[in-house]
Amino acid sequence: MEICLDNAEITESSPTFEEIYIKNRRLMMYTAMNILNNFADAEDCVSEAFLRFSKNFEKYSKLDWPKMTSLLVIIVRNAALDKYRKNQKICLSETPDEDVGAVSLDSYPIDSVISAIKDLKDEYRDVLMLRYVYGYNITEISALLKINSDNVYKRIQRARKVLAKNLEEGGGKI
């Protein structure tokens, strides 16, 4: 059994770009390969992800390791999904907004919310992570995922709606 992160010591100060690259490249490659199943395309996505990461390196390098690694995985996963769609010539059909009504999360136990989040599509989960866990604004998310600000905004809205729907359907209300 291999461990995905290399076993180098984690230093107290902010890591260098090279350290981050060496620690995460295999996991990122693995993520991209799972989606694309094509080595060259997967490499493209990994390098693209690191490029996006490097643009705001000073900020991202201050994250703790789990968050930093997860962020890189989010970026590479989205880059790979974009590439996959391009290869397949799939156009994302934007489904019309459904009004699922206002749902209060307070009325659900946290386990149900966690389970509903896990049921979300990667793209929706990622955008919620970036917004609420990492606290990035729309512009920053737009730069990380290479989609325009309107789409980020819409995606967050949709993610919240789908999450609410999952919760309603999954039940578990207190």
CB 144 within 8 A of CB 51: no
Distance CA 131, CA 137 (A): 7
* CA nearest neighbour of 57 among 143, 150, 149, 153: 143
HEC per residue, 104-123: CHHHCCHHHHHHHHHHCCHH
174 binds other proteins (CB under 8 A): no
Binding-residue pattern over the window 134 to 163 for other proteins, x denoting contact by CB under 8 A: -----x---x----------------x--x
27: nearest Cα among 54, 45, 9, 51: 45
Site stretch for other proteins (CB under 8 A), options 80-88, 92-100, 125-133, 150-158: 125-133
Q: Give the residue, chosen from 8, 10, 37, 54, that forms a contact with other proteins under the rule CB under 8 A.
A: 54
Considering only 9, 101, 104, 171, the residue that binds other proteins (CB under 8 A) is 104
Tokens of 138: 């729309």
Please report, as ranges, the residues that interact with other proteins according to CB under 8 A: 1-5, 16-18, 21, 25-27, 29-30, 39-40, 43, 46-47, 50-51, 54-59, 66-67, 69-70, 73, 103-106, 108, 110, 113-114, 117-118, 125, 128-129, 132-133, 139, 143, 160, 163-164
